[in-house]
Chain A
Amino acid sequence: MTNGIARQRKRHGAGFDARRYASCFLGRPARLAVLTLTFALIAFPFYWLATNAFKLPQDYFSQPPVLFPTRGTLQNFTEVFTKYQVGRGLVNSILIASMTTVLTLISGALASYSLTNGILPRRTRRALMLWFLVQRLYPAIVFAVPVFYVISRLRLMDSIWALILMNTSFNIPLAILLLVGFYQDVPREVEEQAVLDGCNLFQRFFYIATPMVAPGLAAVGILTFVFTWNEFLYAAILTIFKAKPLTVIIAGFITDRGLIWGPMAAMGCIVVVPVLLVIWGAQKFFISGLSAGALKE
């Protein structure tokens, strides 16, 4: 009955690791096999994307496909910047994502602070929180037609401000739900002390609370940046020519020009790499942000 434990104890001595024990719930060889398979399934597509971006046309059109290319070129990348307006797309994506992040953080932090520490009628507070919770449920498509109409009436069609506005609107509910949690973690005594020192709401927000929730702001900022960078639907609807971000350009590439693998892979790399860099630098924030956003109800 205590067989497994005895074996573990013998192997690890007093430091018995229950989690390691539980993680082998399918047996140790199966665990290794599944994890190896998972690694292969995740790593191979990216390997494929990266190698195709540097292949010569003979290689990427070859049949059977070249698994281990022996020669490479940068011509796909140069082509993509000169012939397919990826340069402009990159600039648009960067501008849209960063401005959205800034706007979302500022407006979200202000609103969250007011919800946690401000003087508001109880029903208003409840109604607003409900509104923000519910905003996350709508599929984006349901607003597409009215928004198209509103934006074209506001003469904002094909301008990055339309996208900045819409993306901010998409990210605000999640930002508020997360930031409210972070502002609530600021100890009450700190706030009370600030009040005793004569701070009003804004001073407490700006000088005391916000510096303390900086990691939370970082997490929300990263999530917002990544979601906005990846956004496609409204970018496709609200842009015609000069405001197109990378996601629209890459999708248009497939539908208009058929399938030229090299440049497509190069474009794919350009869309994917910045996000990977951002995440690599801040994985902890991203994971905590993702989990908190999903599990905080």
Chain B
Amino acid sequence: MLIPRQIQNTFSDRMLSWAFLLPVVAILTVTALIPLLYGVYLSFHEYRLNIPGARPAFIGLRNYASLFADPFLRQSLRNNLLFAGLAVPLELALGLTLAMLLCDAGKLSRMLTTLLLIPTIIAPVAAGTLWRMMLDRTYGVVNYLATLAGLPAVAWLAHPFLALLSVVMVDVWQFTPFVAILVLSAIKGIPDTVLEAACMDGASPWQVFRHVILPMISPVLVIVIMIRMIDAFKVFDTVFVLTQGGPGNATEMLPNYIYRQGIRFFNVGYTSALAVCFIIAMFLASWIFLHLRNRMLLRSR
């Protein structure tokens, strides 16, 4: 992965090497390492910032035990899993299709690829605001267009399940282009000769896709799935702006729940326990994915 070059081993070079690392290590220690350690420390304490004069009180694993008894946590987890289970496959399928449709070098494809960048780069808050405007029940343009087409006008953000679907839809709108761009880079990386050889053998376009392109880009697809899965558990901005977790708890995702517990209710100890579990879960998930990908890479050799 990283092949170091150590060309000249002088005293000044050695000192400079460490000095160069200093800014980054300093910043990350203050902003990431110390908060992490402090968070772990707090997770074993009961500490509510909204009670004046409160101090952390050691309660051992009780915060962690409360995790299992928390119905709101279970609802958030369920919402988040549902969201991930809907959004990621959709983004993958649509993104893959788009990437395939745009993999040639024509002018149309180049123009559209540039256009694809746009939803991905705007702030999720802006995307949420935009769709909040468009999905409004009375003034929203989506309902208007639906009625024009003869379909019923729906309460997109007021009905629990539809609200979740709306959040999925906005996420798919914003990040399918991202998936498409990544997959497109991978497809462009396939040598022309391989593709031509496949066509030489009389394969139909579908067969070229299914038996040549797909296997060759599968390691990239695994990485993309991993990235989108992890990102699906990080959504905060869109939900915050679109529904604020409502109606009721129907669209509250894990980050929104943690935010509520920590910043609204100031239940610091419990929030830290939540955070620690979240980190561990993310670790495990990434480790599994990377393992999968490495096995796939080995197999394709």
Q: How far is the CA of A235 from the CA of B220 in the complex (A)?
A: 33
In the assembled complex, A150 has its CB within 8 A of some CB on chain B:
yes
Interface-side segment among A69-77, A78-86, A213-221, A289-297: A289-297
Which residue of chain B has its CB nearest to the CB of A147?
B35
| Interface flag for A13 (CB, 8 Å) | no
Q: Which residue from B24, B36, B116, B139 sits with its C-beta under 8 Å from A107? A: B24
Whether B13 pairs with A232 at a CB distance below 8 angstroms is no
A150 and B173 in contact (CB under 8 A), knowing A145-B263, A255-B244, A295-B220?
no
Q: Are A23 and B103 in contact (CB under 8 A)?
A: yes
B interface footprint on A135-170 (CB within 8 Å = 1, 0 otherwise): 101111111111111100000000000000110110
Q: Which residue of A lies closest to B35 (CB)?
A: A146
Contact B182 A169 (CB under 8 A): no
A125 and B104 contact, CB distance less than 8 A: no
CB-nearest residue of chain A relative to B3? A184
> B223 and A297: CB pair below 8 A?
yes
Nearest chain-A residue to B259 (Cβ)? Answer: A141
Instruction: Kindly list chain B residues whose C-beta atoms are within 8 Å of the C-beta of A182.
Output: none
CA gap between A70 and B164 in the complex, in Å: 36
Q: Is B247 an interface residue (CB 8 A)?
A: no
Report if B69 contacts A (CB, 8 A).
no
Within 8 Å by CB of A141, from B2, B144, B173, B255, lies B255
Contact B123 A230 (CB under 8 A): yes
Closest to B140 in A: A65
Given A21-B205, A145-B39, A275-B122, A169 contacting B28 (CB threshold 8 A): yes
Provide the B89-130 mask, 1 if CB < 8 A to any CB of A, else 0.
000000001101111111011001111111101111110111
Contact of B133 among A46, A176, A202, A265 (CB under 8 A): A265
Are A172 and B35 in touch, CB under 8 angstroms? no
Q: How far is the CA of A65 from the CA of B61 in the complex (A)?
A: 55
Nearest chain A CB to B17 CB, angstrom units: 3
Contact A286 B136 (CB under 8 A): no
- The reply on A272 being an interface residue by CB < 8 A is yes
Chain A nearest CB, measured from B19 CB (Å): 8
Bound CA span A291–B223, Å: 11
User: A119 — which chain B residues lie within 8 A by C-beta?
Assistant: 6, 9, 13-14, 17
Q: Which of A139, A148, A275 contacts B121 (CB 8 A)?
A: A275
Chain A nearest Cβ from B229, distance in angstroms: 11
Residue of A nearest to B14 (CB): A119
> Assuming A35-B108, A188-B5, A272-B123, is B271 touching A145 (CB within 8 A)?
yes
B2 pairs with A139, CB closer than 8 A = no
- For A192, the chain B residues whose CB sits under 8 A away are 7
Residue in A closest to B185 when the chains form the complex, CB atoms: A291
Report if B70 contacts A (CB, 8 A). no
- Closest CB of chain B to A242's CB: distance in Å? 19
CB-CB nearest in chain B for A270? B126
Cross-chain contact B5 with A117 (CB below 8 angstroms): yes
For residues 223 through 240 of chain B, which have their beta carbon under 8 Å from a beta carbon of chain A? 223-224, 227, 230, 233-234, 236-237, 240
Min CB distance, A291 to chain B, in Å? 4
| Contact status of A4 and B181, CB under 8 A, knowing A19-B103, A23-B100, A25-B205 | no
With a cutoff of 8 Å between Cβ atoms, the chain A residues found around residue B275 in the complex are 141-145
Report A20 CB to chain B, min CB distance, Å. 4
Interface size on B, residues (CB 8 A): 121
Determine whether B23 belongs to the interface, using a CB cutoff of 8 Å to chain A: yes
A143 touches B138 (CB 8 A): no
Residues on B with C-beta less than 8 A from A138 are 279, 282
User: CB of B131 within 8 A of chain A?
Assistant: yes
Contacting residue for A150 out of B30, B104, B121, B244, CB 8 A: B30
Cβ-based interface call for B209 (8 A) = yes
Q: A129-B2, A295-B223 are in contact. Are A5 and B125 (CB under 8 A)?
A: no
Partner of B20, one of A21, A38, A201, A271: A201
A60–B61 Cα gap in the complex (Å)?
A: 54
Interface flags, A185-223, vs B, CB<8A=1, else 0: 000100110010000111001000000000000000000
> Please, which residues of chain A bring their CB within 8 A of the CB of B116?
38, 42
Scan residues 67-108 of chain A and give those whose CB is less than 8 A from a CB of chain B: 67, 103, 106-108
In the bound assembly, the distance between CA atoms of A7 and B3 in angstroms comes to 49
Contacts of A247 on B, CB cut-off 8 Å? 123, 125-126, 237
B186 contact from A38, A41, A137, A295, Cβ within 8 A: A295
Given contacts A145-B268, A261-B139, contact A191 B109 (CB under 8 A): no
Q: Is A18 positioned at the interface, with any CB of B under 8 Å from its CB?
A: yes
When the two chains form the complex, which single residue of B5, B118, B147, B177 contacts A191, counting CB atoms closer than 8 Å? B5
Q: A22-B100, A295-B182 are in contact. List 19 more A-B contacts (CB 8 A).
A: A18-B195, A19-B192, A26-B100, A45-B131, A49-B133, A65-B140, A65-B141, A107-B24, A110-B24, A119-B14, A134-B283, A140-B236, A147-B35, A172-B24, A195-B8, A233-B237, A272-B126, A275-B121, A291-B181
Task: Please name 19 pairs of A and B residues whose Cβ atoms are closer than 8 Å in the assembled complex, sorted by A.
Answer: A3-B202, A26-B100, A26-B101, A26-B206, A34-B97, A38-B112, A42-B177, A46-B118, A118-B13, A125-B2, A135-B28, A139-B278, A140-B236, A141-B258, A229-B123, A254-B241, A261-B139, A264-B129, A271-B122
